[in-house]
C-alpha cells in the first residue's frame, strides 16, 4: 500500500499560519474547525542578577500539524462505524461523512487533535490530504500556500529518504503510539517529546 | 461539558447492572414475593433505558445509530460496548418478560445468572472504551475499577430503596433479611471504593503526562470532595438506618439520589481529567 505523508520544517516556519487559513478557505471550514493548526510551543524565563541586569532563556518554535495519516491510526481503530478509514490507494485517513454517527470517539483517541467535529454537519471531519488535488498531480493546498516552503508532502518513503525520520519533537506525542506519516525538521530550539520546560502558547487558537 | 450525556449514560448503565445483580442475589437467596420483585426488576430496564437514551443524545447523527455495528469488523471498543449493552439489556429484558408472563419458570434462574454475568461483561466493555493508550490519564486498571465500583455502590442502595417501597407486599421478614444483607454489602463496597479512590488519585498525581492533571482542572477538587461526601452520606445513612430496622422508603430514595449525584460528580471528574499523550494538542 502506498503511504503519503507530511514533512514540517520547524527551522523555516515563522508561524504565519497561511497553511491553516488556506486549508480553511479551500475546505470551507466553519469557526472552530481547523484541519491544520499551527501550535506555538515555547517556554523559558527571565532571571534578575545581583547587578540588576536580566538574562533570559526563552525559546519558541512553531509546529504546523494537520493529520499525520498514521500507519496505525488510533482514530480508525476507535471508530465504531468504519466511517474513519484508511484509503488503500494512498494511505490517507479520511471520514465518510455519510456513515459517521458523530460520536466523537476518534477525537478522544487521536493524540494530534486531527479529527474535528463539525457542528453544522453534525459529524466528524478532518484533513483528507487533499486527495482530490493529489490525484491531479498537485500537492495539498497547505503545502503550496506556504510562503516559507516549510512544508512538503509526498510518498513517505521518498520524504524519509530526503528528510530523515523524526517525529518525536514536543508538543507531539511519542510516535510509537500511532506511527505517524510525519517527519519533523528540527530547529535550534527544538525540544523532544516529553519535554516539560515548554507548553503550547496559543491554546485558544488551536481549539483547546 | 460535551460529555455530560456520557456521564449520565455510564453512571446509569453501571448502576442498572448493580441493581440487577443486587436484586438477582435477593431473588436467588431470599426467594421473595413474585409480583413485587418483578416490578423491582423493571426498574433496571428503566434505568438502563434512560442511560441508553442519554448516550444517543451524544451522537451528532442519532438516526444513524445502528451504524455502530459496522465497527465490529475491526473490534472497535465502542461497537463492543454496544454489544455488551445489547447482551445485558436483552438478558434483563428477557428475564423480566419471563417473570411477567410466567414463561419457562425453571429456566428463569439460568437467565438471571446469565444476565448478571452479562452485566459485569458490559461494565468491563465500557471500561475498555476509555482504556486508550493515547490517553495516559485513563489508560489504567483504575478505569475498570471505578466503573465496577459504581455498580457495587449504587446497586445495593437502589435495591434497598425498591424493596423498602414495596415492603407491604414483600413481607417484613424478607425485606429485613435482604436489606440487611444489601446494607452490609454496600458498606464493604463503600470501603473498597473509597480506598481505591485514594489510590486512584495518588496514581493520577504520578502519571507520566505533560502537566499535573490536578492543575489542569478548575473545579476538580470540588468534584472529588462532593463525590466523597455524598457517597459516604448516602451509604452510611441508609446502611445504618437499615441495620437499625428503619423502613422508610423516603430515606431510601434520598440516599439513591445522593449516591447517583456522587457518582455523576465522580464521572465528571473522570471526563475532565482527559489528557492526551501529546503536550496538550
Which whole-number Å values give the CA distances from B164 to B59, B190, B215, in the listed order? 37, 21, 44
User: Looking at residue B54, what is its pLDDT?
Assistant: 96
Any idea where the domains of chain A sit in the sequence?
4-44+63-199
Interface ipTM: 0.91
Confidence of residue B211 (pLDDT cuts 50, 70, 90): confident
User: Looking at residue A58, what is its pLDDT?
Assistant: 96
Question: How do residues B34-44 score in pLDDT, each as one tens digit?
Answer: 889 999 999 99
Among A8, A65, A75, A105, most B C-beta atoms within 10 A, so best to mutate, is A105
Question: What CATH code is carried by the domain that includes residue B173?
Answer: 1.20.1630.10
Is B260 exposed, middle or buried (CB count within 10 Å of its CB: 0-12, 13-18, 19+)? Answer: buried
User: CB–CB of A28/A52 below 8 Å?
Assistant: no
Candidate from A79, A101, A173 with C-beta closest to B61:
A101
User: Looking at residue B173, what is its pLDDT?
Assistant: 87
Residue B280 resides in a domain? no
Partner-chain contact A206 B281, CB within 8 Å: yes
Locate B270 and state its grid cell: 473522570
Question: How do residues A145-181 score in pLDDT, each as one tens digit?
Answer: 999 999 999 999 999 999 999 999 999 999 999 999 9
Confidence of residue B172 (pLDDT cuts 50, 70, 90): confident
| Cβ contacts of B281 on chain A, cutoff 8 Å | 39, 65, 111-113, 171-173, 200, 206, 208
Residue B216 in this model has a pLDDT that exceeds 80: no
User: CB–CB of A36/A20 below 8 Å?
Assistant: yes
Residue B278 resides in a domain? no
Pick the CATH number of A4-44+63-199 from 3.30.450.20, 3.40.50.300, 3.30.1330.20, 3.30.70.20: 3.30.70.20
Locate the chain B residue with the closest alpha carbon to A178. Answer: B134
Interacting residues of B87 by C-beta distance below 8 A, sequence separation 6+: B118, B121, B122
Coil/strand/helix, residue A8: strand
Which whole-number Å values give the CA distances from A71 to A8, A178, B32, B120, B182, in the listed order? 18, 7, 58, 34, 51
Average pLDDT over residues A132-148: 97
DSSP sequence for A78-129: H-SSS-EEE-TTT--EEE-TTT-----HHHHH-TT---EEETTTTEEE---T
Partner-chain contact B71 A112, CB within 8 Å: no
A109 touches chain B (CB under 8 A): yes
User: Looking at residue B242, what is its pLDDT?
Assistant: 95
Domain assignment of residue B100, given as a range: 4-272
A172 touches chain B (CB under 8 A): yes
Interacting residues of B24 by C-beta distance below 8 A, sequence separation 6+: B112, B113, B115, B116
Question: How do residues B136-160 score in pLDDT, each as one tens digit?
Answer: 999 999 999 999 999 999 999 999 9
Candidate from B61, B73, B74 with C-beta closest to A122:
B61
Average pLDDT over residues B97-122: 95
Confidence of residue B208 (pLDDT cuts 50, 70, 90): confident
If DSSP states are collapsed to H, E and C, what string results for A13-35? CCCCCHHHHHHHHHCCCCCCCCC
- Nearest one of A87, A83, A115 to A100, comparing CA atoms: A83
Please state, rounded to an integer, the average pLDDT across all residues of chain B.
94
Average pLDDT over residues A1-30: 96
Average pLDDT over residues B67-84: 96
User: Looking at residue B99, what is its pLDDT?
Assistant: 95
Question: How do residues B113-136 score in pLDDT, each as one tens digit?
Answer: 999 999 999 999 999 999 999 999
Confidence of residue B214 (pLDDT cuts 50, 70, 90): confident
Residue B174 resides in a domain? yes
Q: Within its chain, how far is the Cα of A206 from the centroid?
A: 11
Residue B20 resides in a domain? yes
What are residue B278's phi and psi, to 5 degrees? -85, 180
User: Looking at residue B123, what is its pLDDT?
Assistant: 98
Residue B13 resides in a domain? yes
Measured CA to CA, the distance from residue B51 to residue B10 in angstroms comes to: 7
Question: How do residues B14-63 score in pLDDT, each as one tens digit?
Answer: 999 999 999 999 999 987 778 899 999 999 999 999 999 999 999 999 99
DSSP sequence for chain B: -TTHHHHHHHHHHHHHHHHHHHHHHHHHHH---HHHHHHHHHHHHHHHHHHHHHHHHT-SSGGGGGGGGGGGGGT-HHHHHHHHHHHHHHHHHHHHHHHHTT--HHHHHHHHHHHHHHHHHHHHHHHHHH--TT-TTT-SHHHHHHHHHHHHHHHHHHHHHHHHHTHHHH-HHHHHHHHHHHHHHHHHHHHHHHHHHHHHHHHHHHS-SSS-HHHH-SSHHHHHHHHHHHHHHHHHHHHHHHHTT---HHHHHHHHHHHHHHHHHHHHHHHHT---SSS--
Confidence of residue A64 (pLDDT cuts 50, 70, 90): very high
User: CB–CB of A63/A10 below 8 Å?
Assistant: yes
- Nearest one of B223, B77, B52 to B144, comparing CA atoms: B77
Residue A54 in this model has a pLDDT that exceeds 80: yes
> Rounded to 10 degrees, what is the CA torsion of B63, B131, B263, B111?
70
User: CB–CB of B125/B148 below 8 Å?
Assistant: no
Residue B79 resides in a domain? yes
Residue B281 resides in a domain? no
Name the percent of chain B lying above pLDDT 90: 84
- Nearest one of B15, B40, B25 to B178, comparing CA atoms: B25
Question: How do residues B252-263 score in pLDDT, each as one tens digit?
Answer: 999 999 999 999
Measured CA to CA, the distance from residue A57 to residue A138 in angstroms comes to: 42
Confidence of residue B221 (pLDDT cuts 50, 70, 90): confident
Residue B279 resides in a domain? no
Give chain B's domain count. 1
Question: How do residues A182-203 score in pLDDT, each as one tens digit?
Answer: 999 999 999 999 999 999 999 9
- Nearest one of A197, A203, A207 to A60, comparing CA atoms: A197
Partner-chain contact A81 B276, CB within 8 Å: no
Q: What does the angle CA A34 – CA A59 – CA A165 come to, to the nearest 5 degrees?
A: 65
Confidence of residue B89 (pLDDT cuts 50, 70, 90): very high
Whose cell is 465528571? That residue is B268
| Cβ contacts of A121 on chain B, cutoff 8 Å | 60
Amino acid at each position: 500500500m502506498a503511504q503519503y505523508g507530511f514533512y514540517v520544517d520547524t527551522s523555516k516556519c515563522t508561524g504565519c499560519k497561511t497553511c491553516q487559513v488556506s486549508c480553511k478557505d479551500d475546505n470551507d471550514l466553519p469557526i472552530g474547525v481547523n484541519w491544520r493548526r499551527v501550535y506555538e510551543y515555547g517556554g523559558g524565563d527571565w532571571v534578575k542578577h545581583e547587578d540588576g541586569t536580566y538574562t533570559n532563556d526563552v525559546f519558541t518554535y512553531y509546529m504546523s500539524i494537520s493529520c499525520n495519516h498514521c500507519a496505525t491510526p488510533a482514530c480508525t481503530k476507535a471508530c465504531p462505524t468504519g466511517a474513519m478509514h484508511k484509503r488503500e490507494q494512498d494511505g490517507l485517513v479520511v471520514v465518510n461523512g455519510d456513515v459517521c454517527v458523530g460520536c466523537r470517539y476518534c477525537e478522544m483517541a487521536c493524540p494530534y487533535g486531527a479529527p474535528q467535529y463539525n457542528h453544522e454537519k453534525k459529524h466528524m471531519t478532518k484533513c483528507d490530504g487533499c486527495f482530490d488535488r493529489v490525484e491531479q498531480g498537485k500537492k495539498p493546498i497547505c503545502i503550496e500556500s506556504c510562503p516559507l516552503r516549510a512544508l512538503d508532502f509526498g510518498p513517505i518513503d521518498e520524504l524519509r529518504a530526503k528528510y530523515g525520520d523524526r517525529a518525536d519533537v514536543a508538543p507531539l506525542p511519542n510516535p510509537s503510539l500511532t506511527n505517524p506519516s510525519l517527519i519533523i525538521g528540527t530547529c535550534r530550539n527544538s525540544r523532544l517529546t516529553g519535554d516539560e520546560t515548554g507548553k503550547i502558547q496559543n491554546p485558544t487558537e488551536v481549539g483547546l | 461539558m460535551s460529555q455530560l450525556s456520557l456521564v449520565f449514560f455510564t453512571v446509569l448503565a453501571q448502576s442498572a447492572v448493580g441493581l440487577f445483580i443486587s436484586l438477582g442475589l435477593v431473588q436467588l437467596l431470599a426467594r421473595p414475593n413474585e409480583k413485587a420483585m418483578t416490578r423491582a426488576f423493571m426498574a433496571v430496564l428503566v434505568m438502563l433505558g434512560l442511560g441508553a437514551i442519554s448516550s444517543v443524545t451524544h451522537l451528532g447523527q442519532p438516526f444513524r445509530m445502528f451504524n455502530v455495528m459496522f465497527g465490529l469488523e475491526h473490534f472497535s471498543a465502542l461497537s463492543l460496548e454496544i454489544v455488551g449493552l445489547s447482551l445485558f439489556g436483552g438478558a434483563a429484558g428477557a428475564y423480566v418478560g419471563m417473570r411477567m408472563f410466567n414463561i419457562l419458570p425453571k429456566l428463569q434462574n439460568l437467565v438471571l445468572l446469565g444476565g448478571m454475568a452479562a452485566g459485569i461483561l458490559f461494565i468491563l466493555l465500557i471500561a475498555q472504551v476509555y482504556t486508550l493508550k493515547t490517553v495516559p490519564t485513563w489508560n489504567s486498571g483504575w478505569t475498570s475499577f471505578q466503573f465496577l465500583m459504581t455498580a457495587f455502590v449504587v446497586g445495593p442502595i437502589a435495591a434497598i430503596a425498591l424493596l423498602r417501597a414495596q415492603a407491604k407486599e414483600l413481607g417484613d421478614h424478607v425485606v429485613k433479611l435482604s436489606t440487611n444483607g444489601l446494607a452490609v454489602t454496600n458498606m464493604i463496597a463503600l470501603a473498597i471504593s473509597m480506598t481505591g479512590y485514594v489510590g486512584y488519585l495518588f496514581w493520577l498525581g504520578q502519571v507520566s503526562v505533560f502537566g499535573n492533571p490536578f492543575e489542569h482542572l478548575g473545579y476538580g477538587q470540588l468534584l472529588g470532595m462532593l463525590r466523597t461526601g455524598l457517597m459516604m452520606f448516602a451509604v452510611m445513612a441508609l446502611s445504618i438506618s437499615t441495620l437499625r430496622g428503619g423502613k422508610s422508603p423516603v430515606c431510601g430514595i434520598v440516599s439513591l439520589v445522593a449516591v447517583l449525584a456522587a457518582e455523576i460528580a465522580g464521572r465528571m471528574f473522570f471526563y475532565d481529567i482527559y489528557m492526551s499523550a501529546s503536550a496538550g494538542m
